[in-house]
């Protein structure tokens, strides 16, 4: 059975009968984990093994694990700083910031891969205009040059750890104040202004080999009346043709308020897939997941299937014990721990 175009969450720290029933559905292709699914490293390893055992080829396993306030697994994992901290270092020393960004990406990916996670939805490529509370310090910087610089370095680290990068939230969520989890954000700017700034980090990352992107549940009415994730203009004309992106497109969570303009959950999923998404996410609403699985009909193209297959993590990742025997990895752990510590504090800590 090939993987399908729907990614779902699960209820707890181990699979129950309802989880297994949903994950065995041919329309399902992956699982996204949340904080509620994590208890300990050993429990996580058992959980991911049980998910991979549900079917062949194994379902993708993903997580939002960016660092800062968006880090689902904490106890037993390295604290990854908010990406804004790397932007602050970039202001003083771009070279040092790039090095630390690569180290952070490597640690993040290697630890997740050691426990069976295929990929994380990171890095955030949004510009920090100072308007958006939901983006805030998740963004690297206000300057597009810094965002492109640091996100590429993080992508190199993720790759070193055996994981693909997922750039978000196309074409940019940083300008609007509204939170698409609870509202329907509207960005009134002209396309020319968005292209001049917000698209630049995406353009640079695409040129450097970015393999996956997640669009925003934001409406840009000067371009299209539909949110970007449901828009053929944004996904097919701008992202695919104008920017030349040939990789994987994930929808953002279809349970979010920003997706409600597209109708029922089935209408939302079909709208996203028709617009150009390869896989759609439905989170935190098992009732909507059941409704979608019961009602949606969709045949994935061979191209989408190939894109999905490329999201599997590097096979046979090192265990955490093996990583901690690697001197370079231990050095990376130490360096990541220094991110966000002021230089004076760091000097005191190292005495």
Active site residues: 181, 252
The two beta strands, 65-67 and 70-71, are antiparallel
CB 164 within 8 Å of CB 117: no
**Residue stretches of the annotated binding site for substrate:** 64, 72, 138, 168-169
**Residue stretches of the annotated binding site:** 64, 72, 138, 168-169
**Cα 85 to Cα 75, 129, 337, distances in angstroms:** 21, 16, 12
Tokens of 341: 């510590």
Q: DSSP letter string over 212-268?
A: EEEE-S-EETTTEEEEGGG-HIIIIIIIIIIS---SEEEEEETTSGGGGGG-SHHHH
DSSP letter assigned to residue 276: T
Which residue blocks in the chain are alpha helix, DSSP H?
Answer: 17-23, 41-52, 83-92, 94-114, 144-160, 191-196, 199-207, 232, 265-275, 286-295, 302-309, 320-324, 327-338, 343-349
CB 120 within 8 Å of CB 66: yes
CB 44 within 8 Å of CB 82: no
């Amino acid at each position: 059975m090939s993987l399908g175009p729907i990614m779902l969450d699960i209820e707890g720290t181990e699979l129950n009968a309802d989880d297994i029933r949903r994950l065995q559905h041919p329309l399902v292709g992956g699982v996204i984990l949340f904080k509620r699914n994590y208890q300990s490293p050993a429990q996580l390893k058992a959980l991911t093994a049980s998910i991979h055992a549900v079917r062949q080829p194994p379902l993708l396993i993903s997580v939002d694990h960016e660092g800062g306030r968006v880090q689902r697994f904490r106890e037993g994992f390295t604290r990854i700083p908010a990406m804004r901290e790397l932007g602050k270092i970039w202001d003083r020393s771009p070279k040092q910031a790039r090095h630390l960004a690569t180290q952070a990406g490597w640690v993040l990916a290697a630890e997740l891969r050691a426990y069976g996670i295929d990929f994380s939805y990171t890095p955030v490529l949004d510009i920090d205009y100072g308007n958006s509370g939901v983006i805030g310090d998740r963004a690297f910087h206000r300057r597009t040059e810094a965002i492109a610089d640091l996100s590429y370095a993080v992508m190199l680290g993720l790759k070193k750890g055996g994981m693909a990068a997922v750039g978000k939230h196309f074409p940019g969520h940083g300008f609007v104040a509204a939170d698409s989890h609870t509202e329907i954000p509207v960005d009134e700017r002209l396309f020319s202004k968005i292209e001049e700034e917000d698209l630049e980090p995406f353009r640079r990352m695409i040129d450097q080999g970015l393999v996956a992107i997640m669009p925003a549940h934001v409406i840009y009415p000067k371009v299209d009346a539909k949110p970007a994730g449901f828009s053929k203009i944004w996904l097919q004309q701008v992202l695919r043709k104008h920017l030349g992106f040939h990789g994987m497109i994930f929808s953002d969570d279809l349970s979010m308020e920003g997706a409600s303009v597209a109708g029922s959950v089935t209408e939302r999923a079909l709208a996203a897939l028709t617009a150009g998404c390869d896989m759609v996410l439905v989170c935190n609403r098992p009732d909507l997941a059941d409704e979608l699985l019961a009602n949606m009909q969709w045949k994935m193209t061979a191209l989408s299937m190939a894109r999905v297959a490329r999201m599997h993590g590097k096979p046979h990742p090192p265990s955490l014990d093996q990583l901690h025997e690697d001197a370079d990895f231990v050095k990376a752990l130490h360096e990541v721990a220094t991110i966000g510590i002021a230089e004076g504090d760091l000097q005191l800590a190292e005495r």
